Amino acid sequence: MDSDTAANLIAINREFYTRFGGSFSATRHRIQPGVRRVLEILKGNESILDLGCGNGELARELAKRGHQGSYLGVDFSLPLLRDAESQVDGLDVRFMQVDITQLPVISDQLSALGPWSLITAFAVLHHIPSTELRLNILRIVNKLLSKDGRLIHSNWQFLSSEKLKRRIQDWSKAGLLVKDVDPNDYLLDWRSGGEGLRYVHHFDEKELDELARASNFQVIDTFYSDGDGRKLGLYQVWKSLLK
């Protein structure tokens, strides 16, 4: 994928989460079962960097559980961040507007606020276009982790749902051709509060394993959860091979 196409896809998602941030947030006021499974393995004192924190639902759940570690949530969507900032009490919490595709630019700032024993990226990587950009981000994430830190992420398995597959749209709606994008890239529509489009990449375990190796991580756990049949979310836990 060339850089212009990647920028186009990033712009599509930025427009979506800016325009539909409110209606999207309204559908995201519960923790997914897979995230709850992750929370059960925490000690309660981790310093957490939450990439793509959205409306702060993870922070609210941590506060309910009495989490004692620090938390920084970052997202580029101001509507979602406004929801996040207005509803969290009882946690050492901060939120920042950050475009994750620009993570290399602000890595020093995030490093100074760390070190981070846990970095989460729930439903984030599948919105990052191109292998090159994903690797750039993951290598920065690796550097931001403390010794023995972990990266935990989830990725949408929308091809497992016949209902969600019906939301796949032709690339012409984004002014693109199939040859412009990478294999397993899709354009999905949105129908709540208006019509919108989102770019989403569909990962399988093999591709994620390859990304892990290329960014000096080791996959230490993989599981599926969420939705009917508990198959709409592919979760992985990675540890750094650099520390």
Give the burial class of 31: count Cβ atoms within 10 A of its Cβ; 0-12 exposed, 13-18 middle, 19 or more buried.
middle
pLDDT band, very low/low/confident/very high, at 241 (cuts 50, 70, 90): very high
- Summarised one tens digit per residue, pLDDT across range 164-179 is 999 999 999 999 999 9
pTM: predicted TM-score of the whole model, two decimal places: 0.91
Domains and CATH numbers, the chain: 3-158+203-240 (3.40.50.150)
Report which of 88, 223, 67, 66 is spatially closest to residue 157, judged by C-alpha positions: 223
Residues 57-82 have a mean pLDDT of 88
Per-residue confidence (pLDDT) for residue 25, from 0 to 100: 47
pLDDT of 195 reads 82
| Sequence-ordered list of residues with C-beta below 8 angstroms from that of 197, at least 6 positions apart, any chain | 12, 16, 169, 173, 174, 187, 188, 189, 190
How confident is the model over 15-51, as pLDDT tens digits?
Answer: 888 887 655 544 555 789 999 999 999 998 999 999 9
Q: What is the mean pLDDT of residues 126-142?
A: 96
Q: Which two tokens stand for residue 29?
A: 């006021």
**Overall average pLDDT of the 76-102 stretch:** 81
| Residue 92 confidence class, pLDDT cut points 50, 70, 90 | confident
- Using CB atoms within 10 A of its CB, is residue 172 exposed (0-12), middle (13-18) or buried (19+)? exposed
